[in-house]
Structure 1
């Protein structure tokens, strides 16, 4: 696979992908895994992924956090972005009139393609956006033509 992300969400596919997310979460939970997608209280950071100047770039929206709240790991070509949970302690639960902003833990796991140089990873954080950048590796294409020897 030569893509950075194997799955692209579109507005037409959202209901189907929501069902896929539900199935995946139930399957992962049956093994005690903590892999979550975008269901219920287990949200995942929204991302933009793009290529620019021979590099793969990922921007993850992580508002209302500091860089100490972020954890970024790469293991076996899986990029895992975790935002640690923090709740506002300045206002008690009973004093809220409307509470739409949640600060629960979020995790996003992305599969990196074989043409991504994971050793070149660089990260930065500014204005609520985590930026991750990788160099692209040159992958030699195997020849699709096989020459046979005539005996």
Structure 2
């Protein structure tokens, strides 16, 4: 299976579509009425891969306290919710530039195989969340030699 890099919506064709819609609204109404997609919210990047026995999800969550992260599985959907809280030492007036995203986030990931949710494990270290969920009924491949007899 080829590996494809996930591209946020604003890096894909949706960005150009949203820009065209935004231009149309501005032409008609004379002001911006549709928020740009990249300004909408923070979506932490995620990797999803499978091993012989598990589906593994790895998510970068820098500066997020593990107490502010909630992970749940419903059917074949893995939901990760949380919040990166602003540690504001200077106050809003003191900023020259602010590019980091803060606030709540939610990612819902369609797992690529049936899983045993009760045996899922999650760990959080150095700003990286790692979730391992056992695949249900995984098949261990082993070679069986069969003697062939003939006439």
Q: TM-score range by the shorter chain?
A: 0.5 to 0.7
Could you tell me the TM-score, scaled by structure 1's length?
0.64
Most deviating of 131-140 and 101-110: 131-140
The equivalent of 2:13 in structure 1 is 16
The equivalent of 2:44 in structure 1 is 45
Change (3 A) 1:54 1:20: farther
Could you tell me the TM-score, scaled by structure 2's length?
0.64
**1:49-128 alignment to 2 at 5 Å?**
49-128=48-127
The equivalent of 1:24 in structure 2 is none
Q: Matched residue pairs, number?
A: 118
Partners of 1:47 and 1:61 in 2: CA distance: 7
Change (3 A) 1:84 1:127: same
Partners of 1:89 and 1:9 in 2: CA distance: 31
Structure 2: give runs of 5+ residues left out of the alignment.
Answer: 19-36, 140-151
Q: Which protein is bigger by CA-based radius of gyration?
A: 2
Higher helix content, 1 or 2: 2
Confirm or deny: 8 A CA contact 2:42 2:101 kept in the other structure. Answer: no
Deviation, 1:102, is 2.2
Higher RCO (Cα < 8 Å, 6 or more apart)? 1
Deviation, 1:115, is 2.2
Deviation, 1:139, is 6.6
Deviation, 1:8, is 6.6
